Amino acid sequence: MTVPKIETYFDEDRLPLPFCPGCGHTIILQKLNEALVDLQLDPHKVVLVTDIGCSGLSDKFFTTNTFHGLHGRSLTYASGIKLQNPKLEVLVIIGDGGCGIGGQHLLNAARRNIGIKVLVFNNFNYGMTGGEHSVTTPPGMRTATTPAGQLEQPLDICRTVAVNGASYARRTTTFDKELRSHILETISTEGFALLDIWELCTSYFAPRNRLSRKQMEKTLEELSFPTGVIVQRSKPEFSRAVHQAAEQQKGIPLSRPVEFPVLYEHNLSKRKGLILAGDAGTKIGSAARIFCSAGLYAGLHTSQRHDYPVTVQSGFSVSEIVLSPSAIEHPGVDQPAWVIALFPAGLKKILPIIHELPPESTVYLDASLPDVETSASVFRLDFTSAGRAAKRRENHALTALAAFIQHAGLFDLQALEDATGLRKAFAEQNLEAVQAGKTLLQG
């Protein structure tokens, strides 16, 4: 069977691209798309990791896997993804701001020569936040934070990664007719590869400095920053080397998937989402994990995404769970079929979602929580008192999940009881909590 040619890696439903008219980011993304079309990579095997900034808005326009995180940290996420699975093509989109904030990550990724491919959207300023100076702002140039002209020496990103061990570094501009083939070459490099692309921020940097193509070329010359290949060499790639070393040392690969035998049947005909919301310290995340394991025992595919504020020990704790009879391509829950809200901070966090729920969704609310405005069916269950019977506050979530499994008729509760045995240290208390949920529904 011949595989049909992929004509675009853009998600056409999400276009057009959101950048200001003339912004260099648009040109780079168009050329990246063309390079991907040339390469015909399987979108499932590509991960596009974006940094923060206008450039960081790029990921959602592509049909590949994507990952978006904190400013300056894209290189660490990308390194982690590549280390876990060296077969993935991991691409990073990072601004000059991200290269400054994540400077030491840049050094370490180059030093390791990890096979991630980095496209630097270098517009010499923080576009998204109003055009402040960055580590690449050339001397004398004006930004919101250097109104009289930049006094610092700009970072030479290419030579920095080159001297620290990168396999490949090239400097170019969005005016380069060969941009597409340079992106292609960057992606096709085995080790750490970086393409520093100089471009225009047409809202801030370009008007403030009358930056044009000509002016950009003059700046390159004045700084003695050459364009073209800065380094290109063949060296061992880090993620493969790590896996090989681990196998030699222990005779086992680094990642060993845990097998879950299918012991029970389930009653789910299509993918559905559940949101479990509570407060910090109420073990929402670990209860959700046990629940997902139970789903696996029942032959379902499951995924869990967890969210909590930076404060960790205070505020909300919310798990998004997907249950599906078929493979889960995207782990997010846009519109949950079920919501379980147990504690006030969790409820507050997910109230906007509850307000938008359709009538076919169900909300399970702890008896102590206030009424909610929603078109969904609402069930009041005294989860927390039942959990108290199990003596451990943090087990309320498991109690609630046990009651929910029965109420929704998802699968045999025995699957959840089995899953409590996976963490030996708390197996007994967790089993008690599940059994409290059983009584809750019967009583």
> What residues between 124 and 153 interact with ligand SF4 by CB under 6 A?
127-128
> Interaction with ligand TPP in 19-58: which residues (CB under 6 A)?
51-55
Task: Return the sign of the alpha-carbon dihedral for residues 379, 410, 424, 257.
Answer: negative
Our finding on whether 128 is near ligand TPP (CB under 6 A) is: yes
Is 96 a binding residue for Mg ion by CB under 5 A? The answer is yes
- Interface with Mg ion (CB under 5 A), residue from 26, 50, 64, 123: 123
Based on CB atoms, which residue is closest to ligand TPP, 74 or 399? 74
From Mg ion, ligand TPP, ligand SF4, none, which one binds at residue 135 (CB under 5 to 8 Å depending on kind)?
none
Residue 92 host element (H or E) = strand 89-95
Binds 336: which of ligand TPP, Mg ion, ligand SF4, none (CB < 5-8 Å by kind): none
How is 7-34 classified by DSSP, letter by letter? --SB-TTTPSP-SPTT-HHHHHHHHHHH
Size of the site for ligand TPP (CB under 6 A): 18
Q: How far is the CB of 16 from ligand SF4 (least distance, A)?
A: 12
CA 402 and chain centroid, separation? 30
Distance, CA of 110 to chain centre? 22
Least distance from ligand SF4 to the Cβ atom of residue 62, Å: 17
Which of 70/351 has CB closer to ligand TPP?
A: 70
Q: Which is nearer to Mg ion, 46 or 128 (CB)?
A: 128
- Is 121 an interacting residue with respect to ligand TPP (CB under 6 A)? yes
Per-residue binding letters, 195-234, with ligand SF4 (x by CB under 6 A): ------xxxx------------------------------
373 burial type by CB count under 10 A (0-12 exposed, 13-18 middle, 19+ buried): exposed
Burial letters 272-298, b for 16+ CB under 10 A, else e: bbbbbbbbbebbbbbbbbbbbbbbbbb
State the minimum distance, in angstroms, from the CB of residue 206 to ligand TPP: 12
Maximal C-alpha separation, the chain: 81
> Among all chains, which residue has been given the structure tokens 């004045």?
222
- Residue 180 corresponds to which tokens in the numbers above? 């597409």
The SS3 assignment for 260 reads coil
Q: Is 129 in the site for ligand TPP (CB under 6 A)?
A: yes
For 143, other C-beta atoms within 10 Å of its C-beta total 22
Interface residue with Mg ion among 24, 95, 154, 346 (CB under 5 A) is 95
Q: Choosing among ligand SF4, ligand TPP, Mg ion, none, which partner's interface includes residue 20 (Cβ < 5 to 8 Å by kind)?
A: ligand SF4
Residue list 37-76, contact with ligand SF4 (CB under 6 A): 54
Sign of CA dihedral 73, 78, 79, 81: positive
Write the burial class of residue 369 (CB in 10 Å: 0-12 exposed, 13-18 middle, 19+ buried).
middle
Residue 228: count other Cβ atoms within 10 Å of its Cβ.
10
Q: Would you say 120 or 363 has its CB closer to Mg ion?
A: 120
User: Which parts of this chain interact with Mg ion (CB under 5 A)?
Assistant: 95-97, 123, 127
User: Which parts of this chain interact with ligand TPP (CB under 6 A)?
Assistant: 51-55, 71, 95-98, 101, 121, 123, 126-129, 134
User: Which parts of this chain interact with ligand SF4 (CB under 6 A)?
Assistant: 19-20, 23, 25, 54, 123, 127-128, 201-204
